[in-house]
Structures are given as C-alpha cells and as structure tokens.
Homo-oligomer: A and B are copies of this chain.
Amino acid sequence: MPPSSSSNLGVDYYAFHDVDAAPEGKDLDDTQRILESVTDKLLKRQDETGVKLLWATQNMFSHPRFMNGASTNPDMTTFSWACAKTKMAMDAGLKLGADNHVFWGGREGYMSLLNSDVKQELDQMGAFLNMVVDYKAKIGADYQLLIEPKPREPCKHQYDYDGQSVMGFCRQYGLEDHFKTNVEPNHTTLAGHEFEHDIMIGSVFGDLGSIDANSGDMMLGWDTDQFCYDVRKTTMIMWYVLKQGGLHKGGLNFDAKNRRESSDLEDFFIAHIGGMDTYARGLKAAAAIIEDGVLDGMVEKRYSSFDSDLGKKLFDGKGTLEEFEAYAKAQGEPGVHSGKQELYENIFAEYIH
C-alpha cells in the first residue's frame, strides 16, 4: 500500500505507511525521532498544499522480525514491538490530522496449523486491538479505526479473511463499536466472493469505512493491485457508496501500482488518470441508476410481502413458528415468483454502455 496522492493529479488526500515515509532507526527511540522529524515536514507540506491525510498505518509485515506475526506473534517481545510501532503511528496520525487509521495484518494469520495455537493468537489480537481503542481515547484522537480484510498472502490463512470474518471477530472481542472495514475489492475475489461483495456486506451493516480502489486479475491466485478500468465494477461499488450516503471519513485510495513492465514515466499518469476516470464513470452510472429508481424499485417490490403486520412482528422479534405455520397453511402452496436475473442484468447493462 504505497502512498498514492499528488497535487499534479489534483487529488486532495494522501495516505502512508510509517516506513514508506520514515525508515527505521537503530532502535525504537531513534525510529521515533526519525518519524517525528518526517511528520514535521509532512505537516508543513500539508499546510502549504491543503492536501490532507486520509489515513496512516504501521507496516508490521515487511520486516523479518514480523515473519511469525505482529500482534499474533508467539514471542511477546515481538508483540510488544507491534504495540510500540502502532502507538507511534497513531501519534503520527493524530499530529497530521488523519481521518482514519488502518490495520492490515499481513502476518496476522498462520502458515501452518501444526505450529500454531490459533486461539492464543486471536486472543492476542483481540487484546491488542482493545488496547488500541483505549489508547485512541486517551490521546483524544477522533480518526476512524479500520481493519482491512484479506484472505492470505503472505500468510497461508489470515484471520481477517473477509468482511464477515472481521465483523464476527470484532463482535467476539467487543470491538464492534470501534472498527469499520477498509475494503480492497480484489481481496474479496481472492476470498472467493464477487468483487463488490465485501463493499456490500460492510455497507448494509454500517461497517464499511473506506475503500482501496484496486482491481485484481480473476485468473491469478495472488494480489495484483491493478488499477480498475472496468466501469461495471466501479458502478457496483459506487452504487453501494451512494446508497449509504457516501464514505464519510473514508475515501477511495489507490493502493494500486503500474504493471512492472510499464516502465515509462507517462505510464504512471495514464494508470492513475484512467483509474480515477473509471470510478467517476461508475459514480455517474450509479447516480443514474438511483435517480431512475427502476432497479431499486424492482428489488423493493420483490420483498414487499413482508410489509404487513405479520412481517413487522417478525422483525420486532415477536414472531413464532406456530404463527407462521398457520399462515403457511392458510396461504397454501406459494406462487412461483421468477428471480428475473437476466432482466436485472440487462437493465443494469444499459447504464454502463
């Protein structure tokens, strides 16, 4: 996740990993000094340009010391290093007025079940993130905390597998009021879901915080971090974003990179401009879909039989199996209701062309 922002590109926000901006020093105190000196410069530059910080994060996956995990490391000293790095990055985010703080746990998972105590590791991660919540309160930061799901790579299995795993984990460890998800849609496809699935699942439960606007390659089993040039996909994404009233503190971040073989300087600009345009086109298509109301109206009508007193009772938690059995017997065999998938797909396609 390299920083992706530039006033050349006319973008209002940037984002960074600690070590991308400030290399580690000879020990933790030295690292802290370097980070402070670098954030002084960043703050000055923010003031000069008006560019703001979308999010900061700590890289706890590249350095070999984290090879067996950061907050889930079997060694408590390494665990404590994860705490120290996180505290520094949270301080930096506060200083720079970050809107969000991201947790991507590239090493928070297992390589082999044989040498892993998964319960212990999850308890460590749960306790760690609860300390993060406490520390945020203590320093009075108001940035939004985000967890970025990804199923694997470099780990064999990452605990933050997908949106639903993250939301379930948060509920298990009492973190559900404090964290939202930062979804990278191609992480979702690597988890076996449709591109827009984790955007959708986060959105309908009020858990979608921010988006890494990358694409992957459906034929490849690893994370390619390509720019997304498929307006079908960006339309789906922006449709959910518009329906939840925007991303609020979150944003669209290009954690994307040019192909290794795209070696000209201009390729960098072509890639980013195309990426932004594709999301802009998706936004316009999604807005048109919502304004027209055809598709949403069809969906609403599809579920309208629940808009009755019995339906209300159900969602109020006052229904009983007996009552619905009686209703079933009274109604007899249900009518056949076509799912009309091809109609929906053809109407959707009209907005793309």
Contacts and interface: CB of A to CB of B under 8 A. Distances in A.
A342 B120 contact: no
Contacts of A324: 79-80, 83-84, 131
Most buried by B among A132, A221, A341: A341
A168 B134 CA distance: 23
Interface string A304-338: 01101011001101011110110111011111111
Contacts of A33: none
A179 to B, nearest CB: 13
A27 B333 CA distance: 8
Interface string A281-322: 100000000000001001110110110101100110101111
A334 B65 contact: yes
A257 B342 CA distance: 10
Interface residues of A, number: 134
B342 A270 contact: yes
Contacts of A114: 295, 341, 344-345, 348
A13 to B, nearest CB: 22
Most buried by B among A77, A152, A298: A77
Contacts of A260: 67, 154
Interface string A48-76: 00000000000000001101100000111
A181 interface: no
A253 interface: no
A264 interface: yes
Nearest to A268: B342
Contacts of A172: 167-168, 171, 205
Interface in A117-176: 117-120, 122-124, 127, 130-132, 134-135, 151-154, 156-157, 161, 164-165, 167-169, 171-172
Interface string A185-199: 000011111101100
Q: Count copies of this chain in the complex.
A: 4
A115 B132 CA distance: 39
A116 B335 CA distance: 19
A103 B79 CA distance: 40
Nearest to A123: B315
A231 interface: yes
B342 A127 contact: no
Given A340-B262, A341-B115, A328 B77 contact: yes
A78 interface: yes
Given A113-B200, A115-B299, 15 more contacts: A76-B306, A112-B345, A115-B339, A119-B205, A152-B219, A152-B220, A157-B219, A167-B172, A189-B219, A194-B219, A229-B346, A230-B349, A262-B342, A270-B346, A271-B342
